[in-house]
Amino acid sequence: MDKIYLNEMVFYGFHGVFPEEKKLGQRFLVNLMLEVDLKKAGESDDIDQSIDYGYVYQLTREVLEGPSKNLLEAVAEELSTVLLSRFNLLKACTVKVIKPDPPIPGHYQSVAVEIYREQSL
């Protein structure tokens, strides 16, 4: 299957289990891999045969900057559900939500959740 990637989109949201995360907010990064047959788009040069990246970004922003959730898992699940419901051509998606500065002890670059969801038949 062909793939479209949107990498390291940056948003500011209020997700997390700690009260300060919900009050102060923090940065989140999102990587998306969208599985779609791009043959017709490549042959026709017609956006209607592909997926509008700008609209994907807008939907991602609405989820990430929208109502607070406790878990990255819930954010990723909501985003995959939204994307699969809005794009008929989308066969499956991989959603990775990254929290670069989590308020937990230790030394690491980030924490992240990645999920893979397919269009239900």
| Mean pLDDT estimate for the chain | 96
Q: pLDDT tens-digit profile of 57-94?
A: 999 999 999 999 999 999 999 999 999 999 999 999 99
Catalytic residue ranges: 99
How, if at all, do strands 26-35 and 3-13 pair? antiparallel
For residue 107, what pLDDT is reported?
85
Segment 18-29 shows an average pLDDT of 95
pLDDT score of 104 more than 90: no
> 50, 38 in Cβ contact below 8 A?
yes
Is residue 34 within 8 Å of 93, Cβ to Cβ?
yes
Residue with tokens 């898992």: 73
Say what the pLDDT of residue 96 is.
98
C-alpha distance across the termini of the chain, in Å: 17
- How many H helices and E strands in the chain? 4, 4
Instruction: Please give the CATH architecture assigned to the domain spanning 3-118.
Output: 2-Layer Sandwich (3.30)
Q: For residues 18 and 103, is the Cβ–Cβ distance under 8 A?
A: yes
The amino acid at residue 21 is E
What is the domain partition of the chain in residue ranges?
Answer: 3-118
**Is pLDDT above 80 for 121?**
no
